[in-house]
Every structure is written in C-alpha cells, then in structure tokens.
Amino acid sequence: MTVQGIGAPVRRKEDRRYLTGRGTYTEDINRPGQLHAVILRSPHAHARILGIDTSAAARMPGVAAIFTGADMAKDNVGSIPCGWLIKNKDDTPMAEPPHPPLVPDRVRHVGDQVAVVIAETRNQARDAAEAIQVDYEVLPAAVDTAAAAKPGAPQVWEQAKNNVCFDWHLGDKAAVEAAFATAHHVTKIDLVNNRLIPNAMEPRAALGEYDRATGDYTLYTTSQNPHLIRLLMGAFVLHLPEHKLRVVAPDVGGGFGSKIYHYAEEAIVTWAAGKLGRPVKWVADRSESFISDAHGRDHVSHAELAMDQNGKFLALRVATIANVGAYLSTFSTCVPTYLYATLLAGVYATPAIYAEVKTVFTNTVPVDAYRGAGRPEATYLLERLVDKAAREMKIDRVELRRRNLIPRDAFPYQTPVALQYDSGDYQSTLEIALKNSDWAGFESRRAEAKKRGKLRGIGISTYIEACGIAPSAVVGSLGARAGLYESAAIRVHPTGSVSVMTGTHSHGQGHETTFAQIVADTLGMPIENVDIVHGDSSKIPFGMGTYGSRSLAVGGSAIVKALDKIVKKSKRIAAHLLEASEADIEFKDGTFSVAGTDRSVPFGQIALTAYVPHNYPITELEPGLEESAFYDPLNFTYPGGCHICEVEVDPETGVTEVVKFTAVDDVGRVINPMIVEGQVHGGLAQGIGQALYEICVYDKESGQILSGSYNDYTMPRAEHLPSFTVETHNTMCTHNPLGSKGVGEVGAIGSPPAVINAVIDALSPLGIEDIEMPATPQRAWRLIQTAGMARAAE
C-alpha cells in the first residue's frame, strides 16, 4: 500500500465541490432559449380519459406548447421498454403491456403522465397545467399486493389476466417435496416486505436540447447510467440514431437505484426540444418524486423450512407475490426473480430450494430496484425464518446458523438456485461479529435495561448478496436485454498525467477517488494526477453505468485491464529507451528499470516519448499512450457477513430505539477503507429505515398515496441511529483482477432482519414472535396490548 494507493483511506477528491456547493447538477445547467416543462399528472389511481381540453391553457401567458399522448402517438413515439423478459412456468413470455411516455386514454396510477405544458417559466407552465380540463371516468383500482391476483380484483391491463405479469419459478420442486415428506420439523412464516420510496436527495430532472443545424440531440439527466438511457430512449422510444444523441448525467445527488431507469420525462423533454427547436427543462418537485420515482420492494411471501432432528436444513420452499406497479420499469422484472430467488440459499448449505414468484400489476407507481434490489427481500425472508426455526426447534439461533453455514472449504459452492459462490468465510464474519457486539454479555444488558423499564433485545443476521450482475452470456440466456460488462479507457497525457474514462457513474460513491487510487497504485503517481471522467456519452466509452454495487468489481476491473495494456506498452517503450530486452524490464513505483542494473526511466518520460516519438520503435509500435478495455465478469461477486443489532423497546409507548449495531462484512479487496465504512454506514441507515420507519402507504380503495410527503414518510434521521461498529473481514473474489466484491448495498441488505429479530427478541418475554416492518411504535404497542390482554385472560 502506498500513501494514496490501494488500501489507503484517502479523503474524497470530489467532496470539495459537493461540500462547497460547486457541483453541477442537472438543474444547474441552463441552455440559451430554454423553456420549462411541467407534467400534468393523474389525480386518480385508475381512470379512463374521456377527453382533454387544452384550449384555455394554451392561451395562457408564456405557454409555448401543450402536448398529450395523442401528439406523441402521431409522431410514432414508442413505448418505454422493459429491460428483462421473464418467462412463465410454462415457458410463455410475461405480459408486457405498453408504457407510453404520455398516456393517451387511460391513467393507471396517481402521478401517471397525462400531458406536458411547456412555457417560458416554470410557474407559467404550472398555471397552464392547472387550466387543462381532463374528463376522467374513474375506475376501481387494484392496489393491494396480496389481493391483486384474486378473482374480482379490478384489472389494470387487459393483456395481464388477473393482473399477473408472470408466474415464474426456480429450483427443483420434486426434490423439495421429497425432503419435506421426510422432515423432522417444518417452520412456516408469512412476511411482508414493505414498500419504500427511494427519496434521493436530488429530485429527478431532465433537460432536452436539439440543434437544428447539426441534427444533434442532447439530454442532460439525473441518471446512474447515461449510455443505457441513450440506448433505450434512442432505439426504442424516440428512434434517434445513437451518433445523433448525446446523454449527459452530470453530478447526480444520490440514486439508490431510482435513477437507473429510463423515465418518461427524459423522452418527453428530448422529443419536445426537437418539436420546438428550443431546450426544454423539467425538474421534479419533491411531491412529484413521491409519485413518479420508481418505488422499491413490496413483497408478500410465504416460506417453509424443512429440518432434520438436529436442525439441519433439508429444503426450503418459498411463494412470493411481488408488486410491479402499473407499468414495467426498466429492471422491475429481474429484481423479484434473478436478484431474489437466486439468493434464497443465503449462507446456508440447504440442499434443495424451490421458489415461486408471481408478479402482479397494480394501480400504483412502478416498483423497481432499490438499494439491494431483491437481495434484501431474500435476506429478510431467510433470516426471519431461521430465527423462527430456532425458536421452534429450541436450538440457540447462533448455533442453528453455525450448523447450517456453508463450510469454508466448500468453495466454489454451487447453490440449488443457480448461483455459484466463489469465496466466503461466513464462520469468521459470524464469530467476529459475536465478539465485537459482546453477544455473550447481552443478558446482563437486558437485565440492566429492565431496571430502567425498557425491553432490550438482540438480533442477528448472517447474509450473502450478489453484486456485479454477470456474465452477459448467462444473463442474456435468462432474458436480459442488455450486456453487463463495463468499459474503461485510459488516456495518458504527454506529461504523464492520466484521464480515465469510465462507463460507470458516480452519484456519491466516491469513484473519482477510488478509481484514481487504482491508477495511482499501478502507475506510481499521486491521485491528483489522475482525473476520472464519467457520465457523458460523448466523452466515455459505451458503459452500463452504476447499480448493483458493480462499479468497482466490474468497472474497476475494466480499469485494471486497460492499465495492464498501458503498462505493457510502456514496458516496450522503456525497453527501447534503455536498450534492453522487454523481458528484463521491471516496473515499480512509477519507474521502469532494467533488472539487476541501475538503469531506469520514469513513467513520465515514457509518456512524453510516446507522444514525441523522436527516439521510438516506430516500425513496431504505434505512438501515443491510450488504451481501452471492456470487462465482462465470469460470475457475480458475493459479499456477505453478519450484522448484529441491539434495540430497546419502551413498553409504554412502543418506541424502538436502536442502541447498538455491529456489522462485519466481507467485501473483498478494499481500495479505500474510509469510503467502504461510509458506504456501510449509509446502507445501515437505509436498512434501519426500512425496518423501523419507512413505508409507502396507499389507500387500498382509492389508490391515493397517504405517505406522499415528509410529513408522513419517515426518513431515518441521525438521531435515530447509534454509532455503528463496522469492520470488514475480507476474502478475495476469485474471478476479477482486483478481488473486490462490492460494498454499496451490504448495509441495506444485512440489517433489516437483524433489527426486526432484535425487536422480536425484546418483545419475546411477552410471548410476541412476529412484527411487521416497519416496526413502528403503534405496531409494537398494539402487539404489547394484545399480549397483555392474552396474559390477563390466562
């Protein structure tokens, strides 16, 4: 490790501009002649549009244009595509209804896009939007996840009978049934994984621009993956050739998944800019974010675990209903399938698993990946189930886990649900977490809390997840409509400084520092000499962007591959300059030398030689020093670990306070431990948020959102969180050159069941064995009341 190289806790280069207000976000960008768009959104969850009268609105001051779905249809604007085709159990394709950017005849959720008003100012556009008369025939709405597929439920789409998008399965049903038939004990559980609203700090925004002279379109957008937006919007929606469409995702204030997808507003402003010949900007206000950003999670599951008399897991079967909302968002279909059911082995050597997933349409905002995407759902289900199994089997919950963990020497480990884990050490992360949390000393803390009138509980979760979704060939065979490699280009400048063009996108993760550290480590230079370029399709090679904790494992590996080429070529130049054989050239700390001699040449001189090739092997080697690489991983990476949470519940009010949280994560090679710790902290805050505070509530009849502002949607605050005890215990990923696994989501994946298991442990003296997420004060109080009444009746 050098001072700034791999493993150094370097301060983040990008923070100066973030913290001093010098970042450039989409809303900060203003183009000459720019107009402002306001979207008229549906106030109803489900309604037929009988007519739209824009005549009065069109005459209002400053209005440049008003467009409806009919106008877009006239221009043959296409449907927003879904990125992953899932097949039903019978191999037929899923129901894939259209997703027009502006709906022509029917609205399907509160917030659905009905019309766009474009005016000189935003306020004028808003005034005019209010003057549009829409004649709605309100229809009954399907809202509830569990009820959507039941007979008699209102139908969201004609092409999706009983609102089922697909009915899919994974695993060996016969083997599972056989195992259940001989099981000593079966533990059953019913669980709801609560619906969440992502709430990135920066609301979404999009600015479209069209140059009549060149025919070039530019879209500035709050995206985690500008090339993906260019591909989806250009090829499927607006039919624009890619060389005429530039997509820029500048500084982006958080995404958490919600900014992966191609959204209607991006197509609307780009298309409208072409129609009007003037730039068109749209910026969501916070209320709009609640009803137009894709939501997360929303599962209803039943699971059963079969065990032998020693608590050995024999088989697991799971039936899940997942809500996709009213339309198929970009990755909505792979989240409850290949990012969920494939993770149901967890860290356990369960020999047989069978999972069925039914995905349903409802009259709610589309649901897609949100920090963790499928893996938190799998982890929550498993870890709640294992705790319940331990109670029923009267086996200590840690002991039950120990008996079933995949052994250290079993890697590579093939699960019964498609994945092959390459590395891990679940025993060690468990034991370190037990030690760091003083698990053994808990009962005295419980007793001390009891004296203060508090119910103290401790909960554990041992988890695994899968990052860097890949390889392209495999995901393609499973229905993915995109490749999942990553790209990098390294441009060494004549004086030796370096620009790295990466296909990933940083929206708070610290790539500008982490990636620079990799370059600094390899080439032996300060990180100040390395610039990371990302987010602009006209500057960077085609890349897939940032999601699923893939940037370091996949994007970082592409950088390593490109650096290898730089070093290889540099060695050839060095060999020429030093008049030595290439095989004798060594490269260390930024200097090329001839082995066993004092003859050497620094990297900077190699760079200069490459661009001023006066003394150069010109017949064998091209001048210049710029290399690119595309890296397609051989497998997912598999971070994992153990989270332990301690809570205190106030039995009088039902308030749960997290008083202690210990995380031990295996994230593979760590480039910057400070950034890793920060990522874990953020993930834990979101996981604790899901467990105790956050929930999107819809009125089950009307489909109106009841938690559509920060007055009702509870984001976790600093005061809700304890000081975390975080450590990593890393085993290396075996198939990528860095050995890194990914850290962006582990906090949000491992923590929710640890919190809920702790709450249940706290309430267990009252005989309470279940509480739904979020474990709000009222929920806990009600359970305590009911338990009290039951006791009184005994």
Partner 1 sequence: MYSFAYHRPVSAAEAEALAAKAGEARFLAGGMTLLPAMKLRLAQPTDLIDLARLGDLRGIKVSGSEVRIGAMTLHAAVAASAEVKRAIPALAHCAGVIGDPQVRNRGTLGGSLANNDPAADYPAAVLGLNATVHTSRRTIPADSFFRGLFETALEPGELITAVSFPIPERAAYEKFRHPASRYAVVGVFVARTGGGVRVAVTGAGPCAFRATQLEQALAKNFSPDALKGIKISADGLNSDIHAAADYRAHLIGVMARRAVAAIA
Binding site for partner 1 (CB under 8 A): 123, 126-127, 130, 287, 652-653, 693, 697, 706-707, 710-715, 720, 776-778, 781-782
Q: Looking up tokens 């041992």, which residue turns up?
A: 462
For the CB of residue 9, give the shortest distance to partner 1 in the complex, in Å: 31
Q: Looking up tokens 């996949």, which residue turns up?
A: 554
Selection from 562, 484, 475 nearest residue 519 by Cα? 562
User: 674-691 burial string, b = 16+ CB within 10 Å, else e?
Assistant: ebbbbbbbbbbbbbbbbb
Give CA–CA dist 303/310, Å, rounded: 20
Q: Looking up tokens 């009252």, which residue turns up?
A: 766
Selection from 465, 524, 476, 480 nearest residue 498 by Cα? 524
For the CB of residue 705, give the shortest distance to partner 1 in the complex, in Å: 11
For the CB of residue 288, give the shortest distance to partner 1 in the complex, in Å: 11
Nearer to partner 1 among residue 18 and residue 710 (C-beta): 710
Nearer to partner 1 among residue 50 and residue 706 (C-beta): 706
Residues 6+ apart with CB under 8 A from 548: 339, 369, 373, 467, 468, 469, 742, 745
Nearer to partner 1 among residue 123 and residue 414 (C-beta): 123
Give CA–CA dist 263/206, Å, rounded: 10
Q: What is the DSSP string of 37-92?
A: EEEEE-SSSSEEEEEEE-HHHHTSTTEEEEEEHHHHHHTT--PPPPSB--B-TTSP
Q: Looking up tokens 């092959």, which residue turns up?
A: 420
Nearer to partner 1 among residue 127 and residue 202 (C-beta): 127
Nearer to partner 1 among residue 105 and residue 699 (C-beta): 699
For the CB of residue 454, give the shortest distance to partner 1 in the complex, in Å: 14
> How do beta strands 352-361 and 313-325 pair?
parallel
Nearer to partner 1 among residue 20 and residue 711 (C-beta): 711
Nearer to partner 1 among residue 126 and residue 445 (C-beta): 126
For the CB of residue 343, give the shortest distance to partner 1 in the complex, in Å: 30
Nearer to partner 1 among residue 467 and residue 756 (C-beta): 756
For the CB of residue 430, give the shortest distance to partner 1 in the complex, in Å: 32
Nearer to partner 1 among residue 420 and residue 778 (C-beta): 778
CA angle 502, 508, 513 (to 5 degrees): 55
* Token digits of residue 756: 């809920």
Nearer to partner 1 among residue 178 and residue 655 (C-beta): 655
Give CA–CA dist 326/729, Å, rounded: 42
For the CB of residue 710, give the shortest distance to partner 1 in the complex, in Å: 6
Q: Are 763 and 649 in contact (CB under 8 A)?
A: yes
Nearer to partner 1 among residue 297 and residue 729 (C-beta): 297
Nearer to partner 1 among residue 195 and residue 505 (C-beta): 195
For the CB of residue 443, give the shortest distance to partner 1 in the complex, in Å: 28
Nearer to partner 1 among residue 127 and residue 677 (C-beta): 127
For the CB of residue 252, give the shortest distance to partner 1 in the complex, in Å: 24
Nearer to partner 1 among residue 591 and residue 714 (C-beta): 714
Q: Are 365 and 109 in contact (CB under 8 A)?
A: yes
For the CB of residue 777, give the shortest distance to partner 1 in the complex, in Å: 8
Tell me the C-alpha to C-alpha distance, in Å, between residue 567 and each of 224, 531, 562, 617. Answer: 30, 18, 9, 16
Nearer to partner 1 among residue 159 and residue 785 (C-beta): 785
- Per DSSP, 204 falls in state P
Handedness of CA 716, 719, 722, 723 (dihedral sign): positive
For the CB of residue 124, give the shortest distance to partner 1 in the complex, in Å: 11
For the CB of residue 648, give the shortest distance to partner 1 in the complex, in Å: 16
* Token digits of residue 147: 């009820």
Q: Are 505 and 547 in contact (CB under 8 A)?
A: no
For the CB of residue 707, give the shortest distance to partner 1 in the complex, in Å: 7
As a three-state string, the secondary structure of 387-441 is HHHHHHHCCCHHHHHHHHECCHHHCCEECCCCCEECCCCHHHHHHHHHHHCCHHH
* Token digits of residue 629: 């690489």
- Per DSSP, 625 falls in state -
For the CB of residue 654, give the shortest distance to partner 1 in the complex, in Å: 8
Q: Are 755 and 659 in contact (CB under 8 A)?
A: no
Q: Are 361 and 148 in contact (CB under 8 A)?
A: yes
Nearer to partner 1 among residue 509 and residue 656 (C-beta): 656
For the CB of residue 706, give the shortest distance to partner 1 in the complex, in Å: 5
Nearer to partner 1 among residue 257 and residue 774 (C-beta): 774
* Token digits of residue 367: 């649901």
Tell me the C-alpha to C-alpha distance, in Å, between residue 683 and each of 490, 729, 745. Answer: 31, 17, 6
For the CB of residue 767, give the shortest distance to partner 1 in the complex, in Å: 20
CA angle 697, 700, 701 (to 5 degrees): 140
Tell me the C-alpha to C-alpha distance, in Å, between residue 504 and each of 170, 371, 522, 533, 754. Answer: 31, 16, 20, 10, 31
Give CA–CA dist 700/491, Å, rounded: 56
For the CB of residue 238, give the shortest distance to partner 1 in the complex, in Å: 32
Give CA–CA dist 736/412, Å, rounded: 14
